[in-house]
Amino acid sequence: MQCNFKETMDKKTIENQINELRDFLNRCNYDYYVKNSPKISDYEFDIKLKELEKLEKENPEFFDPNSPSQRVGSDENQEFKQVKHKYSMLSLANTYSEGEIRDFDARIRKLLPEGEEFEYACELKFDGTSISLTYENGLLIRALTRGDGQKGDDVTNNVRTIKSVPLKLYGEGFPKEFEIRGEILMPHSSFEKLNQERTEIGEPLLANCRNAAAGALKTQNSAVAAKRGLDCYLYYLLMDNLPSDSHFENMKIARSWGFKVSENTVKAKNIDEIIAFINYWDKERYNLPYDIDGIVIKVDKISLRDTLGYTAKTPRWAIAYKFKAEEAAVKLLSIDYQVGRTGIITPVANLEPAHLAGTIVKRATLHNEDIIRSLDLHENDTVYIEKGGEIIPKITRVDLSKREEGSKPIEYITKCPVCGAQLVRNEGEAGHYCPNYNGCPPQITGKIIHFVTRKAMNINCGEATIEMLYNQGFIKNCADLYELKTSDIESLERFGKKSAENLIKSINDSKSVPFERVLYALGIRYVGEGSAKLLAGDFGNIDAMIAATEEQLSETHDIGEIIAKSVYSWLRKPENLEILNRLRAYGLQFQSVKTEKDENSSEKLSGKSLIVTGSFATPSRREELEKMVSQNGGKLQSSVNSKTDFIVAGEKPGASKIKKAEQLGTKIISEEEFLKMLE
């Protein structure tokens, strides 16, 4: 009895410790992502988070989906369920002029009793994707998209990864159950980082933050959503008994519970104050770290909203003023065709300089041939450019009234503008690319620049230095870096003996970089940091990858057909194999460092291919099971095929995986059956 009592007390102590860590970390997230006022360093936060993760792993009975440890998301594919909204999620009527705003005000006054005093709440109209959050007992339980207004997609797993969304509320006075609505958006900084990553692996750039946010929110993999740097602003509280009859006050109260509510909301006594607010933000919006596309005007007094009512599609008590995208008519001077390191050709329009959205615009991306064709661009056309909701200026249309007589349509190039190679366009792809990847100068220097970056080989060498070394004939590929001498570098402009020695040391130090980073550094199209790590972990060394078939490469967990095809093709080219052999001879790592096997390791799954799918006791449990597959000599797959031996299925396994397994006759086993196999 005494032992049981002591064990109970110990468990209670651990539970209290876990809850204290969760509360502390939730508060840190709130300070950092909502209040923009961090109280501890990133390092201190990470230490506390690791402490929590360890305790949760050792004590799975205390699992909580709203724990800050769950912010990273899961890599389990999900099929979004349609859930009915408790309150219809209507859209707002749009207006584009001051006159229409005054008409809206006049309609309000006509519908309300004569002499009724009221104010408006004026809010920024975030350019993202709408979301509805439901809380019970202070915990997030559901997140739905707008959908058709009556039903929306359940994207709770993805929303849990957004660090400005509170998983557990603070303060006091929040009701047992309520709903709050807002906007999921992608800040400019996250958008620019995402496009940089896409550039590095040779994927086309995303056009704007709004589409990027919507795509991230609807990704089938919440671990991917977690990496997208999304943010969330809330602006509408719904419940049976609201704290106040003022919408403005309700949102202040919601802020005290831990929600991110814009500080830029104001109350306006009359239409002139609304117009002043609109005019201010029409200019000031370009200084915000995210996109807005207008202003929302709402009757502030909740009780009056019932009197005003709704149309079939929109509330009568609110309206959205949409900013007109700022545009300028400029002359098209010429088109340049840029060559990326993966050979992708990007057409860029050179324009007469124009002041637009707070900057001087001289160039605008045209993305690909299809865009040029859809615009029907001719030489010397007068074109309209805009930057509203766009990070990258774009051409939206042509002023045909100013087209010069006899001007010729823009003909997309057929040969590389640098090396002259015939361009290629693969079926299903929008862009052309230059196939002369080992002879085209911008591709060569681009690959070497990528090779030396911090996330790859971490060689302390800038773009200008790489281009100088290439132009003076010292390097023609990344392997040549390891043959450089101090005397070679000393001869370069702005270099001395000390700086040359430092560069040589940095090159030599890079020989200890692990295999997965070397694989990423090679610059194989579509192979980013994550996929390089997966391939290195699955195959263990470069020789196994070279020997693998395209199908075997695609069987790697989370590696699809496109990446597999690209890797297989790259490893079949003699010139690439020559560079690999040189790099290997210089001492670079082309084999994963094996860790000592623990007592649970074996070869019991040798030659077997398995998939782990569904939900288990804790999210980390799925990772543990996947680790067991590798520890015991098995191969982890991400998709079911004829070579899949077993599917380890938890609760709610992927429907498509189960269906495919049943078609192929693949054996489906439980976690318990899987563990018995390892006994």
**Which of 12, 35, 110, 125 is the catalytic position?**
125
Hey, what amino acid is at 556? Answer: T
Beta bridge partner(s), residue 589: none
Torsion sign over Cα 563, 566, 570, 572: positive
Residue 653: partners with Cβ closer than 8 Å, 6 or more residues away = 613, 614, 647
CA angle 82, 85, 86 (to 5 degrees): 145
CB 392 within 8 A of CB 205: yes
Q: How far apart are CA 82 and CA 147, in angstroms?
A: 8
Q: How far apart are CA 482 and CA 474, in angstroms?
A: 11
Q: How far apart are CA 264 and CA 266, in angstroms?
A: 6
Residue 648: partners with Cβ closer than 8 Å, 6 or more residues away = 610, 611, 612, 613, 625, 669, 670, 671, 674
CB 602 within 8 A of CB 678: yes
Task: Check if 168 is active-site.
Answer: no
Q: 608: helix, coil or strand? A: coil
Hey, what amino acid is at 542? Answer: I
For residue 475, the number of C-alpha atoms closer than 13 Å in the C-beta half-sphere is 25
Which region, left, alpha or beta, applies to residue 367 given φ > 0 means left and ψ of -120 to 50 means alpha?
Answer: left
Which residue is listed with tokens 């929600």? Answer: 259
CB 381 within 8 A of CB 410: no
Q: How far apart are CA 330 and CA 664, in angstroms?
A: 60
Q: How far apart are CA 625 and CA 612, in angstroms?
A: 7
Q: How would you class 555 by CB atoms within 10 Å of its CB: exposed for 0-12, middle for 13-18, buried for 19 or more?
A: buried
Q: Which residues are catalytic?
A: 125
